[in-house]
């Protein structure tokens, strides 16, 4: 299971990050004490403004000791935020490793000759125990376990997470996009983004330096180009999983989500957009941004035979039309 080596490296990184955070908190406390004792002018006189705000802005703040002290305090907080971001990634690596190893230990305690129903019970028991410890739902715990085991099976990605070079959101993207790939394909994807010695490494910013949405686009584009199966086969498999989900929200509202083939979803979007624009009155152009290009009333009018509220009654057509 590899318990020990990887965990020791991650724990050492956490200790280093915590020590640097502690030093920054002490520095901030000393700055407050010196300011209270000697005043901002004395504190500013003992600091190097160019090291804090750069040469361009140094001349504008060196004459204002209060601004200089405030700038130092701001820089301390920004540095602390950077360290906490790194620390969150390091803690997420420990958490993922512990979750993956907990499941493996549960399986190791199950006798090899155990029947299928007993193995199923063991798997469910592991999910429920982790859900209880983390105070999350069973579904969330199962998803966390899947992502954790996937990341732990990809050493370069796990190493980047353990050092805090990327966040758990980036790690989840790797887990999501390598799902369904064979081990060789998953290893190739991870090597492309995390191994500078790979045959064709990714260019540009490191994964952890990209916002998650952009990183997902890059990973997904690479996956689509290098997937061993054709797009037609993958589309046929995913089309079988199409579904609709309903989630109540506050104030009597709710969300409806559809997972559909791309051409069907695009057709629904285009048709509803056309209906919304047709129903829009001239005096509504100024607030069209409230709904975006598609109006919720137009969408509901396509799916309900008649929608009646206390403020308006809308005659609508059915889907059969």
Would you say 272 and 299 are in contact if contact means Cβ atoms under 8 Å apart? yes
Per-domain boundaries in the chain:
1-107, 243-315
pLDDT band of residue 227 (cuts 50, 70, 90) is: confident
Residue 179, token pair as written in the block? 């799902």
3-state secondary structure labels for all residues of the chain: CCCCHHHHHHHHHHHHHHHHHHHHHHHHHHHHHHHHHHCHHHHHHCCCHHHHHCHHHHHHHCCCHHHHHHHHHHHHHHHHHHHHHHHHHHHHHHHHHHHHHHHHHHHHCCCCCCCHHHHHHHHHHHHHHHHHHHCCCHHHHHHHHHHHHHHHCCHHHHHHHHCCCCCHHHHHHHHHHHCCCCHHHHHHHHHHHHCCCCCCCCCCCCHHHCCHHHHHHHHHHHHHHHCCCCHHHHHHHHHCCCEEEEEECCCCCEEEEEECCHHHHHHHHHHHHHHHHHHCCHHHHHHHHHCCCCCHHHHHHHHCCEEECCCCEEECCCCCC
pLDDT band of residue 237 (cuts 50, 70, 90) is: confident
pLDDT at 74: 94
Per residue in 196-223, pLDDT tens? Answer: 888 888 888 899 999 999 999 999 999 9
Distance of CA 101 to the CA centre of its chain: 23
Distance of CA 69 to the CA centre of its chain: 35
Please state the rounded mean pLDDT for residues 284-294.
52
Q: Is the pLDDT of residue 15 over 80?
A: yes
The residue that leads in pLDDT, 168 or 294, is 168
Residue 179 phi/psi, 5-degree rounding, is -65, 130
Q: Is the pLDDT of residue 242 over 50?
A: yes
The residue that leads in pLDDT, 54 or 132, is 132
What lies within 8 Å, CB to CB, of 45 at 6+ separation is 65
Outline where DSSP puts E strands in 251-318.
254-259, 306-308, 313-315
Share of the chain above pLDDT 70, in %: 78
Distance CA 78, CA 18 (A): 15
What is the rounded (10 degree) CA torsion for 126, 132, 138, 139?
-100
pLDDT at 5: 58
Would you say 163 and 194 are in contact if contact means Cβ atoms under 8 Å apart? no
pLDDT at 277: 81
Q: Is the pLDDT of residue 233 over 90?
A: no
Please state the rounded mean pLDDT for residues 281-291.
58
Distance CA 211, CA 218 (A): 11
pLDDT at 61: 43
pLDDT band of residue 34 (cuts 50, 70, 90) is: confident
Please state the rounded mean pLDDT for residues 93-117.
90
Distance CA 95, CA 158 (A): 12
Give kind and range of the element (H or E) at residue 243.
Answer: strand 243-248
Please state the rounded mean pLDDT for residues 150-165.
93
What lies within 8 Å, CB to CB, of 146 at 6+ separation is 175, 179
pLDDT at 42: 59
Among candidates 131, 215, 117, which has minimal Cα distance to 166?
215
Q: Is the pLDDT of residue 288 over 80?
A: no
Inter-CA distances, 113 with 108, 118, 137, 287, Å: 12, 10, 31, 66
pLDDT at 222: 92
Kindly report the average pLDDT of the chain as a whole number: 81
Please state the rounded mean pLDDT for residues 299-306.
61
Among candidates 51, 85, 80, which has minimal Cα distance to 68?
51
Q: Is the pLDDT of residue 247 over 70?
A: yes
Distance CA 36, CA 21 (A): 23
Per residue in 76-95, pLDDT tens? Answer: 999 999 999 999 999 999 99
């Amino acid at each position: 299971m590899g318990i020990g080596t990887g965990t020791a490296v991650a724990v050492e990184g956490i200790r280093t990050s915590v020590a640097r955070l502690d030093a920054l908190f002490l520095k901030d406390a000393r700055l407050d004490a010196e300011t209270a004792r000697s005043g901002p002018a004395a504190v500013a006189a003992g600091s190097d403004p160019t090291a804090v705000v750069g040469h361009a802005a140094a001349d504008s703040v060196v004459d204002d000791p209060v601004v200089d002290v405030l700038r130092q305090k701001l820089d301390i907080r920004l540095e602390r935020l950077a360290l906490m971001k790194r620390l969150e990634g390091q803690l997420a690596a420990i958490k993922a490793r512990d979750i993956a190893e907990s499941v493996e230990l549960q399986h190791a305690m199950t006798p090899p000759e155990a029947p299928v129903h007993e193995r199923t019970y063991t798997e469910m028991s592991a999910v429920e125990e982790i859900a209880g410890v983390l105070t999350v739902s069973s579904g969330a715990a199962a998803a966390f376990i899947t992502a954790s085991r996937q990341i732990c099976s990809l050493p370069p990605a796990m190493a980047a997470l353990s050092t805090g070079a990327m966040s758990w959101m980036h790690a989840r993207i790797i887990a999501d996009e390598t799902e369904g790939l064979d081990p060789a394909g998953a290893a190739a994807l991870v090597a492309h983004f995390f191994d500078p010695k790979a045959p064709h490494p990714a260019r540009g910013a490191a994964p952890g330096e990209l916002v998650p949405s952009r990183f997902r686009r890059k990973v997904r584009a690479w996956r689509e180009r290098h997937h061993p199966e054709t797009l037609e086969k993958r589309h046929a498999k995913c089309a079988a999983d199409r579904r609709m989900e309903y989630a109540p929200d506050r104030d009597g509202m709710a969300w409806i989500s559809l997972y559909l083939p791309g051409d069907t979803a695009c057709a629904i979007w285009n048709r509803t957009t056309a209906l919304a624009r047709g129903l829009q009155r001239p005096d509504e152009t100024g607030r069209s941004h409230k709904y975006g290009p598609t109006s919720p009333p137009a969408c509901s009018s396509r799916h309900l035979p008649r929608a009646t509220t206390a403020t308006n009654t809308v005659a609508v057509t059915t889907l059969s039309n």
